[in-house]
Structure 1
């Protein structure tokens, strides 16, 4: 075998330590609440001493942070990494997010698909609103749940087992949900499309007010998402 050839070893991580560290981050990102070393060790399937070393290394790089009780959560360093993801999409979406915040007075965010999950990569919150929903980059949830997940699925070909909510979202161009990802929270989202029509991401807003007209919010999101789609084309 030549020196520059890589042996074909399917389904085996090239670096066990790196694989474990990534799984630690994935666990912390999905749980959303601080986790003890023992809980992390059990979730990843390693000894507590191994989990401790992984967490301390990630903490040194600000990818996780430790609270006063010694539990760990996702750190601010992850935000910096997320901002480097899909820079072209984010560059096009950021001014539209700011415009949505100004127009609607709600937290607006950009979501992309990562396998079977929807991941928030950018969020803009109202600065002059005393009551709004805080939402941070790095949030993940199953792509089949919530307005953002549905919006990411809108451009896909219809299937016989599609949810009724997805069928409705395709018909009107935007999706809505109540409490599917965060209890009590409402969300509306619209897909951002690549030139080939596939989903590059989704723009969304999240809010609590039950008197808001979803159709008006949906129309604003479709307009914003179309502008981002045009910028990508």
Structure 2
């Protein structure tokens, strides 16, 4: 498949900027893109003209307001596509199903679905937040990131198995299972797009069956956002 080189470079530049919360210099950006600095300046100027990037006082490049607008327009589409899958997951596992997103050092619940025919449920509300390194949802997100020597064992295991399983980390007696939602190839870990899907229930959850259902749902969501 042929691609347009200039557009490809611009999109790669935008992804690199998104992965640099404190901003990135033009020199570093040109080195990452493997292009001459003059070409990099033109790429940045084009993105800046569309408000996709902005310059800080010291000249570093950060995401611009238009990037946030694009992200906000993606959310209703994502929610509408994913909600039926989340309800199906909740009913299949007889557990509370959820989608969580990384927000700085925390993991925030952004969608929830309850099973229809279960009396005992774990209260998990939209907006609930906890550290990324505690709870199945956050660990599943960390497992999507590039491997480092500092990764805890839970993250390494989740990366190897395709899902994370935790017991009692966020609520006594609760069992959580989650799988990361990988972004399309070349998207990178853009801010606000690192997500996981999972279920949580009181002890008694069939973890093998739930893990299989959670991973299948993660792949279904990945398919939705890549077409």
The number of aligned residues is 156
TM-score after normalising by structure 1: 0.61
Aligned twin of 1:70 = none
- Tell me the distance in 2 between the aligned counterparts of 1:92 and 1:225: 13
Alpha-carbon distance, 1:161 to partner: 1.7
2:198 is aligned, of 181, 198, 204, to 204
Contact 1:108/1:205, CA 8 A, preserved across alignment:
yes
Provide the alpha-carbon RMSD of the alignment: 2.6
TM-score after normalising by structure 2: 0.62
Alignment of 1:117-196 (within 5 A): 117-196=106-185
- Tell me the distance in 2 between the aligned counterparts of 1:208 and 1:112: 23
Structure-2 change in CA distance of 1:96 and 1:205 (3 Å): same
Q: Are 2:205 and 1:220 aligned?
A: no
Secondary structure of 1:152 counterpart: helix
Contact 1:88/1:232, CA 8 A, preserved across alignment:
no
Secondary structure of 1:221 counterpart: helix
Alpha-carbon distance, 1:121 to partner: 0.7
Secondary structure of 1:109 counterpart: strand
Structure 2 unaligned segments of length 5 or more: list them. Answer: 1-54, 59-71
Aligned twin of 1:113 = 102
Secondary structure of 1:225 counterpart: helix
* Larger RCO (CA under 8 A, 6+ residues apart): 2
- Tell me the distance in 1 between the aligned counterparts of 2:103 and 2:127: 11
Contact 2:93/2:209, CA 8 A, preserved across alignment:
no
Deviations 1:40-59 (A, max 9, x none): xxxxxxxxxxxxxxxxxxxx
Aligned twin of 1:100 = 89
Contact 1:85/1:121, CA 8 A, preserved across alignment:
no
Deviations 1:173-226 (A, max 9, x none): 00010111222211000111110264631111110124x332221111010010
Structure 1 unaligned segments of length 5 or more: list them. Answer: 1-5, 10-82
- Tell me the distance in 1 between the aligned counterparts of 2:56 and 2:129: 33
